[in-house]
Amino acid sequence: MTEFVQRFVNGLSIGSVYAIFALGYTLVFSILGIINFAHGAIFTCGAYFTYMLTGATFGANGIFAKTHLPIVLPLAVATIVGAILAGLLGVLIERLAFRPLRRRNSDRLLALVSSLGVATLLVNFIQYLVGAENYSYKTRLTGDLPIAVNLGSEASPIPIRTIQILIFAVAGVILIALTFLINFTKFGKALRAVAEDATTASLLGISTDRFIWLTFFLSGFLGGLAGTLVGSSVSIAGPYFGIAFGLKGLAVIVLGGLGDIPGAVVGGLVLGLAEAFVPADQSAFKDAVAFALLFIVLLIRPQGLLGRVQVQKV
Amino acid sequence: MADFFTSNSGVIVSMVLAAILGLSVYLPLMAGQLSLASPGFYALGGYTAAVLSTRVFPHEGGQIAFGYIVLEMLAAGVLSGILAIIVGIPALRLRGIYLALATIAFVEVLRVLSLNLTITGGAIGIFKIPQPFNSQHQLPYLLFAVPMLAIAMLFVARLERCRIGRAFTAIREDELAADAMGIQPTYHKVLAFTMGAILAGTVGAVSAHVLNTWNARQGTFDASIAFLAFVLIGGSRTFLGPVFGGLVLTMLPEVLRAVGNIGGLPKPVTTFLKDGRFIIFGLLLVIGTIFFPQGLITPELVGRLRGRTPPTPPAPTADPLPAAVR
């Protein structure tokens, strides 16, 4: 029972991070119909931005070895600023790698290739600047709270790490805020209009370009935030950890159905729980769960768990 | 001069092999399908050769007979082909980017499996793979690599001019229209994907011997990017493109490394020249898709070099892969 509850909470916690991360993919896909492979690299950047903003020192390798910023922000503030920087990076990527292709009305596969290029460029550039070491945040995101809380009784304790609960709470707040933003505000309505049909939306007076860059900002913000959350729960495992996470995020959005916003949330939670319940002696295969799920979904329900079959028209 | 070839023998052999790997990505692209699976099949082929030559086939003192390697290449090709059909059918029934996603998943699953199975030697991998040649350098491997490249190029060149190749092009240009014309999209897409896989698997079998050791680092996401760069930078509209891309982009890091070793340059520059391979690949992919969407070697360029225009110049579409996704 103890183990079950622990696994369940851990699954929900990592699953909710998968969800906010995958929402970043989905938002861009629903507007532009492309997958931004650089999203995983933005995730890495978010975690590194936060690390940098807390005034922490980088390791022994890379160009910026053993240097640190002169400012020291508390981790909670750095997390938000880091996510905003990641959002701006998303906008920059849109300007440099996607907009020129969109202007020429290029094929969407080319945008995918371009974003793969950006992803490779970014993570290797980070490695060039600060090396490939593992980093951990100096302070805990949970501050002075105890490391673990007991969800069971005195007699049968069920310790859960506070950070897991915090992550679930943060992700939950973000998800509720996004749902509100998309479904109940004028901004959300315009966003959905652009997603439905960009040309018609622009005829109705919606500035498509502005919504595209706002979407990329939001997407980058979510990706960067997810990076810091995972970094503070485990550690920043070198520049490539975002690529690995990004590939899992792809499994999440296929699971939920491409471009399906509630689907991304469900997909994230399903993947988180599925990974959490991999038996301990098989844990080496945990990283394969996401991709096995992706294959199964492609075979049985290519439209995703919640999706509807779309008919292709000429 | 001979010195130059022997001391750079590893690079020369990998250049030729990379050209074949470029072709293995080009084949599915002929049918408009972006596949990132080549490193997976390459890794599979390598493991096939490594396991067969260390455990099954007779070898003595690190030497193995020439013929066994050909057998390994056959086995690697057959295995890759079968796996490609299994992976390809579910992914290729669907239109759009599903193949790219499924092949990324495929490469990752293979990587996790090869890290954890005993037959693949876990994280350490398989080493001391016996050699077919008694030589200090790797130049004799060109006996495998060059004929393979020649056959692959001839095959793809002929393919582009026959019924199946034209069906691929039709699907690339407009899958719905091709379907309406009686071309079976799924069949042809799986065929193109499988041919690419067989090619990558066979190269893997040779590579395992060239490198002498094989582990899970051979088939990674990075390799997917590198192979993709071979095609997209080299050119995705004629088979000469990926060959050119594979040769040049494999040589490029070595040239940069040599420049970095000259000395007298500031440290950030030398570090960049030595380790910046993937920064450059990434940058080339972005710049390439924006400014040279057809790659450096285009059919028009080939036609001009031959001193004649192509018989029916194809409508100048801006992209190598139009209408595959809509």
Distance, CA of B264 to CA of B274 (rounded, Å): 14
Distance, CA of A288 to CA of B110 (rounded, Å): 9
Average pLDDT over residues A246-250: 90
- Closest residue, chain B, to A107 (C-alpha): B322
Do B289 and A113 form a contact (C-beta atoms < 8 A)?
yes
Identify the pLDDT of residue B243: 95
pTM for this prediction: 0.87
Distance, CA of B90 to CA of B69 (rounded, Å): 32
Q: Which of B91, B121, B122 is nearest to B106 (CA)?
A: B91
pLDDT band at A5 (very low <50, low <70, confident <90, very high): confident
CB contact under 8 A, B325 and A33: yes
- Closest residue, chain A, to B231 (C-alpha): A113
Q: Rounded to the nearest 5 degrees, what angle is found at the Cα of A92, between the Cα atoms of B32 and A68?
A: 125
> Which of A35, A63, A99, A113 is most worth mutating to test chain B (most B CB atoms within 10 A of its CB)?
A113
pLDDT band at B315 (very low <50, low <70, confident <90, very high): low
pLDDT band at B311 (very low <50, low <70, confident <90, very high): low
Q: In angstroms, what separates the C-alpha of B154 from chain A's closest C-alpha?
A: 28
Phi-psi region of A36 (alpha: psi -120 to 50; beta: other; left: phi over 0): beta
Distance, CA of B160 to CA of B168 (rounded, Å): 9
Whether A156 has a pLDDT exceeding 80, the answer reads no
- Closest residue, chain A, to B106 (C-alpha): A291
The mean-pLDDT minimum among A121-135, A146-160, B42-56, B282-296 falls in A146-160
Whether A41 has a pLDDT exceeding 90, the answer reads yes
Residues of A in contact with B101 (CB under 8 A): 35, 250, 254, 294, 298
Torsion angle in degrees (nearest 10) through CA of B97, B102, B104, B108: 170
CA distances (Å), B253 to each of A124, B42, B271, B274, in order? 14, 21, 12, 7
CB contact under 8 A, A292 and B109: yes
Identify the pLDDT of residue B124: 86
Per-residue pLDDT tens digits for B260-301: 888 777 878 888 887 788 888 889 889 988 888 888 888 888
Task: Count CB pairs under 8 A between chains A and B.
Answer: 146
pLDDT band at A273 (very low <50, low <70, confident <90, very high): very high
CB contact under 8 A, A101 and B271: no
Average pLDDT over residues B147-157: 95
Helices (H), A33-134: 39-53, 75-93, 99-103, 108-130
Whether A144 has a pLDDT exceeding 80, the answer reads no
CB contact under 8 A, B101 and A254: yes
Does residue B78 or residue A284 have the better pLDDT?
Answer: B78
Do A113 and A97 form a contact (C-beta atoms < 8 A)?
no
- Closest residue, chain B, to A281 (C-alpha): B116
For residue A288, which amino acid is it?
A
CB contact under 8 A, A298 and B94: yes
**C-alpha neighbours within 13 Å on the C-beta side of residue B131:** 16
CB contact under 8 A, A291 and B286: no
Q: Which of B197, B161, B164, B166 is nearest to B21 (CA)?
A: B197
CB contact under 8 A, B98 and A302: yes
Picking from B282, B293, B318, the nearest residue to A124 by CB comes out as B282
Distance, CA of A148 to CA of A130 (rounded, Å): 32
Residues of B in contact with A239 (CB under 8 A): none
Distance, CA of B25 to CA of A113 (rounded, Å): 13
Per-residue pLDDT tens digits for A111-134: 888 998 999 899 999 988 888 888
ipTM topping 0.90: no
Picking from B93, B108, B272, the nearest residue to A128 by CB comes out as B272
Whether A145 has a pLDDT exceeding 80, the answer reads no
Residues of B in contact with A100 (CB under 8 A): 290
Average pLDDT over residues B67-71: 90
The mean-pLDDT minimum among A45-59, B283-297, B301-315 falls in B301-315
Average pLDDT over residues B57-83: 89
Containing A236, the helix (H) or strand (E) segment is strand A236-237
Average pLDDT over residues B64-89: 92
CA B296 to chain centre: 18
Does residue A198 or residue A223 have the better pLDDT?
Answer: A223
Does residue B66 or residue B312 have the better pLDDT?
Answer: B66
Distance, CA of B92 to CA of B106 (rounded, Å): 14
